[in-house]
Structure 1
Amino acid sequence: MRSSAGPAAGGRSRWTRVLRTPLGLAATVLTVAVLALAVLGPVLWGTGAEAVDTDNILAQPSGEHWAGTDNLGRDILLRVLVASRLSIVLALLAVAIAVVVGLLLGSAPFLVGRRPGRLLSAAVNIAVAFPGLLLALFFAVVFGVGATGAVLAIGFAGAPAFARLTQTLVAGVAARDYVSAARVAGVGRVRILFRHVLPNIAEPLVVNATIGAGNALLSFAGLSFLGLGVQSPSYDWGQLLYDGIGAIYVNAAAALAPGAAVLVAGLGFNLFGESVAKALGIGTRATRVERVRGPEPRAGDGAATPSDVVLDVRDLEVTVPGAAGPVRPVRGVTFEVRRGEAIGIVGESGSGKSLTALAVTRLVDDACRVDATRLELLGHDLRAADTAVRRRLLGTSLAMVFQDPMTSFNPARRVGGQLAEVATHHQGMSRRAALARAVDRLRSVRIGDAAARARQYPHEFSGGMRQRAMIGMGLMGTPALIVADEPTTALDVTVQRQVLDLLATIRAADAAALVLISHDVAVVGEVCDRVLVMYAGRIVEDLPATDLASAALHPYTRALVAAVPDMATDLTEPLATIPGRPVDPANVPPGCAYADRCPLADARCRTEDPPLATTPAGPAGVVERADHRVACWHAGEPFPADRDTDELVESP
């Protein structure tokens, strides 16, 4: 049964658990006491700390002056208590500067692109290599002696480490599917950073900022001790420590009191940071999305083209950087998807299926290069420069269903708010109207109690519910094309059937085209109208789904089908696999890439790469069909007499 407690209750329970631990309780009490001292110290003891008593100059500790007096007869302990405000305020200001500058430097590579980002990352890495105190001394000389210069010096000295942490965290979150989904929806990088990236790295950033406060306090005391920080007549713990060292042989307490204050306050902040790491949750309140309207669409924008072709791909190639030079994991892929049609793409891992889908949806990494003689969605050239019209087209006419719904949703935001963002960003809806549509879309994908579910976070959904909610996000617009990349992975067979039935229902109701990527040949053969078989980055066979089990022509396709167990499979025998290993995209051999694994391969197969074309009638008895293309010199030929169909595969 679902608990009625909200995120606030969860946060209270986490804090309660931390406060019950000795370390958490001690750190919290100590930090609160230090902050209270900073607020109340000058108010309670400010007058006494400034009182000059020439009759008690350099007095020893006593009942009246617990830490003795200085060279003007002023009470040292009271001055330590009063100095807490200036010491802590200046340390917190330095931490704030370090956090702001670190966030800017750490987030810049995500915002400015790959090449400028590398230069910034290199500069940050060089700065991190220097000790923090050395940087602080350098900046103290640059900014000048005094409290202001010391704050800037410590702030800028702490920024590189914070920037390095931010870079690492941002890079990890930026690779998540929900960030890719925001990009395909046309959301700008700045908005993605503040809405999707920073909320999900808030916990380690806050923890390190809290710990950084303790380090800044120690650094600031060190600069003041060296005479580079606070100057007279103002005073902080570092200056009091310097004064106390001069009289340490007369009155040791004069140095011990400010030293102990620095130690206790720094320890409190550091321990509190460790406690925050356990207590801080990642839930954040979704902020209102500003209504963004792109230019009004021209006639035909986002509407059906005169042809019923939804997606037209010609000679698609994807090139990625490799250790030994550029690698082409997708090579010359050509296909088209018509309105209401379901296309399945199958093949082993590494065959280029998912990368083809990412290239079509413009979600490949910035380091990848996508080339094609034609790449059009509803007649719009996806190779053209990014514009508001194209972003709106991708955000409303294309739905992407990712493999892992847990990484496809932003864990820091409620599900309803994430769905509503599509409508507010691309359709100009108000927040209330967009949330209402989000509830309606959740209901349309068969999620019960949709209004309540819309207020929940992704982790409160089951795996099947998250996948259906991801499909519902795609339906926030009016998708003409749904690209589903392994949508049933890690789901049990019952939920798999529900998801596939849902996709089929949506396709039938809205005449949406479907591109289904899967390892499951049986599922693709059942759900799709046409099947594209990929191997080593290219399509080796394009055939009707009804022919997949009985009329496949390419040896690789026949081996894939033979490797799928069915009700007639002999349970006493081990499951079969295709012999050999898939081709390394960085080392594709000449000729047919499948030749080394194919029982029909000859010398021609190892030197000439067969084109994807309609196979004419020949000695093998293959009948020419316009809807069946294959890339093989021996398409449909029977296997050698000593090799039957079952021997296309080998036992593991």
Structure 2
Amino acid sequence: MAANLATEIVSAGGRRGNRRKWVTVVRTPVGAAATVALSALLVLAVIAPILWTDWANRTDTAQMLHGPSSAHWAGTDNLGRDILARVLVATRLSVELALLATLIMVGVGLVLGTLGVLFGRRVGRVVAAVINIAVAFPGLLLALFFAVIFGIGSKGAVLAIGFAGAPGFARLVQTLVAGVEQRDFVLAARVAGVNRFRILVRHVLPNVGEALIVNATIGAGAALLAFAGLSFLGLGVQPSDYDWGQLLGNGLTGIFEHPVAALAPGIAVVLAGLAFNFFGEAMAKSIGVTTTIGKLRLPVVKPAGEGAIPAKDGATDDDTVLTVRDLRVSFPSAHGAITPVRGVSFGMTRGETVGVVGESGSGKSLTALAVAQLIERPARVTAAELNFLGTDLSSGATRADQDLLGVHFSMVFQDPMTSMNPTLRVGGQLAEVARRHGGLSRTEARDRAVDRLDAVQIPEPERRAGQYPHEFSGGMRQRAMIGMGLMGDPALIVADEPTTALDVTVQSRVLQLLESIRRERNVALLLISHDISVVRQVCDRVLVMYAGQIVEDLPTADLHSAARHPYTRALISVVPDMHTALDEPLAVIPGRAPDPASFPAGCAFASRCPLATERCRAEMPPLETDAAGRRVACWHADASAASGSSGASAPEQMEAAR
């Protein structure tokens, strides 16, 4: 299926591109210095206990509390033990405990931050509220609180610091995930019936992984400092073990006589913290990250209303692909429900191409998403009937519905760059559909993916299947998305503005490809566009939407000669052609579409219509069907058709009326 905060990945260009970005970390002065420092710290943590543990534990009462000397560079403690050796040996425990605390922070943060994706938006809102409350408290205060709960000692301190840092990391995860789960490739995976956990692991987390790694690295530095603070206060590592925080606390007792005893572990803490933080910042700059330290498929409720839908001439029940009656989509607000889609009804048969046109905000894409079962809570979807290939989709989420949509419903989204997962190879993304619904093996699914890429006219499909989306041009990505839809056996392809981001030449090729697929496979095609000239090229029938309603439904061949709604005629008139005067301003439709939060009582187009009367402003016209099967919702449809045939364009009529 063809499917910021604080932190955003600027360019996810595949694994090879990612490797190049990671290499650039060491090419900057700060990055190189941080890499050397962090590497030295980790090496020291491994070898120091092996080389200097005996020296660090050797007591010499004759050398107690001596200052720096050639024998003891940082002096000795109250038992005559070498302070520098103890600082070096304490590196392992200090770093080890800090990394354990970071691991807990990341693990708990990931779980909390992704609960909304796994269990839905309601759970996500509750978890977000808890996280926001926890983040409001200072981290050290939370760490002290958890230290009291978990008890004094290394284990309690690790748990305390890990859980204290988890809320901040969880909020970061929530924000990053929220930015990715709305991408088209995630929506496509949902239509394909991929379960929530697989969507999270395969499609969401890989796209935020770099940012999480960077912030976890910086978090490790913060955890190291926090752990040293707890040990300094006597809540962390307890004798006979020791870390930098404990050594710092011991050194402060005699700081006026022997300041180096406190200075040595203090310097170690600062340098280690800087190594983690600078390395994280260097990664952030190289990768393109700024640092800071769910979905439910809705059941469709059936209202009492009914609506008549004209069928294609000669169509039988076996030919019917999609039936939609009285479809409504509403969103809650502080002032009541907002309903941007209001009573949409239409039907489609096999091999039929239907275009949906209208200005931005008219409800075109929202209607398609509702049909595809991609509207999420708290939105509410209702319909008198929502039937796809004889299956009622209004009964709620079932595995059978997911399989049906995954195999027979294909959706091509608007932006080809965001419609594919940038971290997965193109062939693997196509193969997922075949493996999920077709039961094919990995090899069989890849072979089919190569075949589908070849079917949509992508050159060298075998090689291209192993590439990442960023290695494709815009037109090739769009064709690959169409190929993804052909991995199953589609009966309906919904193309939502599929050519908006493409130049005119590529646009023509994509439209020709869609038309050839429709013709060869007898597939129904629903083409959504704001450009009525694009729809005229490939569609049999046109649905004109305005303010969340269908205001006219007529054959494409009748657009110029028989369009009866003033809005339809206005859309036609504003499209420039070879006869448009170059020395005059381009025609426009005056005014603007009404706000969905405050639709008027009557016709929504009345404020912009030259034919509007008081009846238009007070009563909403019904969508009536004439003898030819055309539908129009206008009190003055016949007058509009007559004025259109007189030669005056709709914008000219509107301007004259003003």
Residue 187 of structure 2 is matched in structure 1 by 180
Question: Offset of 1:35 from its aligned partner?
Answer: 0.4
Whole-angstrom distance in 1 between the partners of 2:198 and 2:645: 64
Q: Within 5 Å, which residues of 2 pair with 1:85-234?
A: 85-234=92-241
1:493 is aligned to 2:504: yes
Q: Within 5 Å, which residues of 2 pair with 1:600-619?
A: 600-615=611-626
* 1:476 alignment partner AA: M
SS in 2 for 1:406: coil
* 1:645 alignment partner AA: S
Q: Could you list the per-position Cα deviations for residues 535-589 of structure 1 after superposition, in whole angstroms to 9, with x for gaps in the alignment? A: 1111111101100122101111111111111111111111111111111111111
Residue 22 of structure 1 is matched in structure 2 by 29
1:447–1:643 distance in 2 versus 1, CA, 3 Å:
closer
Moved more, 376-385 or 88-97: 376-385
Q: Within 5 Å, which residues of 2 pair with 1:287-326?
A: 306-326=317-337
Unaligned runs of at least 5 residues, structure 1: 1-5, 283-303, 616-624
Q: Within 5 Å, which residues of 2 pair with 1:389-400?
A: 389-400=400-411
TM-score (norm 1): 0.92
Q: Within 5 Å, which residues of 2 pair with 1:424-443?
A: 424-443=435-454
Whole-angstrom distance in 2 between the partners of 1:15 and 1:596: 57
C-alpha contact (below 8 Å) 2:214/2:280 kept by paired residues: yes
Question: Offset of 1:52 from its aligned partner?
Answer: 1.0
Among candidates 579, 591, 596, match of residue 602 of structure 2: 591
Question: Offset of 1:318 from its aligned partner?
Answer: 0.6
Whole-angstrom distance in 1 between the partners of 2:548 and 2:329: 9
Among candidates 618, 624, 631, match of residue 633 of structure 2: 631
SS in 1 for 2:395: coil
1:423–1:198 distance in 2 versus 1, CA, 3 Å:
same
1:349 is aligned to 2:360: yes
1:249 is aligned to 2:256: yes
Moved more, 559-568 or 477-486: 559-568
SS in 1 for 2:560: coil
Moved more, 16-25 or 435-444: 16-25
1:452 is aligned to 2:447: no
C-alpha contact (below 8 Å) 2:14/2:423 kept by paired residues: no
Among candidates 476, 480, 488, match of residue 469 of structure 1: 480
Moved more, 396-405 or 563-572: 563-572
SS in 2 for 1:307: helix
C-alpha contact (below 8 Å) 1:221/1:262 kept by paired residues: yes
* 1:32 alignment partner AA: S
Give identity over the alignment, percent.
65
1:417 is aligned to 2:424: no
Whole-angstrom distance in 1 between the partners of 2:587 and 2:468: 42
**How many aligned residue pairs are there?**
617
Q: Within 5 Å, which residues of 2 pair with 1:254-273?
A: 254-273=261-280
C-alpha contact (below 8 Å) 2:358/2:544 kept by paired residues: yes
1:578 is aligned to 2:589: yes
List structure 1 runs of 4+ shifted beyond 6 angstroms.
640-643
* 1:644 alignment partner AA: A
Question: Offset of 1:509 from its aligned partner?
Answer: 0.6
Whole-angstrom distance in 1 between the partners of 2:62 and 2:474: 78
Residue 91 of structure 2 is matched in structure 1 by 84
1:548 is aligned to 2:559: yes
Whole-angstrom distance in 2 between the partners of 1:200 and 1:159: 20
Whole-angstrom distance in 1 between the partners of 2:117 and 2:277: 30
Whole-angstrom distance in 2 between the partners of 1:609 and 1:250: 91
SS in 1 for 2:205: helix
TM-score (norm 2): 0.91
Residue 238 of structure 1 is matched in structure 2 by 245
Higher relative contact order (CA 8 A, sep 6+): 2
Unaligned runs of at least 5 residues, structure 2: 1-12, 290-314
Q: Could you list the per-position Cα deviations for residues 319-357 of structure 1 after superposition, in whole angstroms to 9, with x for gaps in the alignment? A: 112342211111111100000000000011111111111
Whole-angstrom distance in 2 between the partners of 1:529 and 1:643: 25
Question: Offset of 1:643 from its aligned partner?
Answer: 9.4
Question: Offset of 1:642 from its aligned partner?
Answer: 11
Question: Offset of 1:12 from its aligned partner?
Answer: 4.9
Among candidates 358, 362, 374, match of residue 385 of structure 2: 374
SS in 2 for 1:428: coil
1:144–1:406 distance in 2 versus 1, CA, 3 Å:
same
1:452–1:125 distance in 2 versus 1, CA, 3 Å:
same
